[in-house]
Amino acid sequence: QVQLVESGGGLVQAGGSLRLSCAASGRTFSTYVMGWFRQAPGKEREFVASISGSGSSTVYPDSVKGRFTISRDNAKNAVYLQMDSLKPEDTAVYYCAASTKFTGLSVRFTSTYDYWGQGTQVTVSS
């Protein structure tokens, strides 16, 4: 069983920055593919970023590429999402996710991940 706890959400003006953190349990955290997703009201959950177990490989959708940066600290069992140049359309609940048995499916799919956090609200005002 893996527990994920997000923190760092809040209210920020457009153009500002926020850093989300996700604390994970589990002795083999360094083997997990980790991801961030977001969900706005009335919309489907959307892929935001992923990072390999070693941290050497990251993936972003075009909507956040160049503005968001995912990173991890395996010594602390933590993954982070640095969000810069925030826009009102980034407003959503942000979720941390772990794939503990990655089999090569796309990291962009929610079905790739078997554990999820409870989410943290990010609100960007115009």
* Contact (Cβ atoms closer than 8 angstroms) between residue 96 and residue 34: yes
What is the C-alpha separation between 36 and 14, in angstroms, rounded? Answer: 20
pLDDT tens, position by position, 38-92: 999 999 999 999 999 999 999 999 999 999 999 999 999 999 999 999 999 999 9
What is the C-alpha separation between 17 and 113, in angstroms, rounded? Answer: 27
What are the E-state strand segments in the chain?
4-7, 10-13, 18-24, 33-39, 46-51, 58-59, 68-73, 78-83, 92-99, 115-116, 120-125
